[in-house]
Amino acid sequence: MKNILKEFESFALKGSVIDLAVAIVVGTAFNKVVSSLVNDMILPPLGLLLGRVKFSSLQIALYHPEGGEVIALRYGQFLQTILDFFVIAFSVFVVIKFFNRLIARDEKGKKS
């Protein structure tokens, strides 16, 4: 049992595990920032340009019982989520492109 605990401690204290934990926390915070950017800064002006459309309220009602909750396809919310994805994907692309340039420049410097 002691060997397992020592092995786990060695694994948990490696830099890569700690880096992964930090990346998850930063990624979660970044997701909230991007969601706010899309929902609060991008979609309202876009909705205004498209005829005062509020994207989060766009839906197709499938069932509307008397006095009950509407069952609907909320495609406006889905569009917001898709836009979130594209903003995050583009941001990750830019960061990776930046780091690839740094790595290529560093490798070029080592060859000289």
Band (pLDDT 50/70/90 cuts) for residue 78 is very high
Whether 75 has a pLDDT exceeding 90, the answer reads yes
Is residue 91 within 8 A of residue 67, CB to CB? The reply is no
Which string of b and e fits 64-95 if b means at least 16 CB within 10 Å? eeeeeeeeeebebbeebeebbeebbeeeeeee
* Domain enclosing residue 21, as ranges: 2-111
In sequence order, the 6+-apart residues with CB closer than 8 A to the CB of 31 are 84, 88
Residue located via tokens 């498209």: 50
- 3-60, pLDDT tens digit by residue? 888 887 777 777 677 778 888 898 899 889 988 988 899 989 988 998 888 888 899 9
Q: How confident is the model at residue 73 (pLDDT cuts 50, 70, 90)?
A: very high
**pTM exceeds 0.85, yes or no:** no
The CATH number of the domain holding residue 74 is 1.10.1200.120
Rounded CA gap, 91 and 99, in Å?
12
Confidence of residue 112 (pLDDT cuts 50, 70, 90): low
Q: Domain count for the chain, please give it.
A: 1
Site of tokens 């969601």: 35
Over range 88-103, report the average pLDDT.
88
3-state secondary structure of 65: coil
Inform me whether the pLDDT recorded for 82 exceeds 90: yes
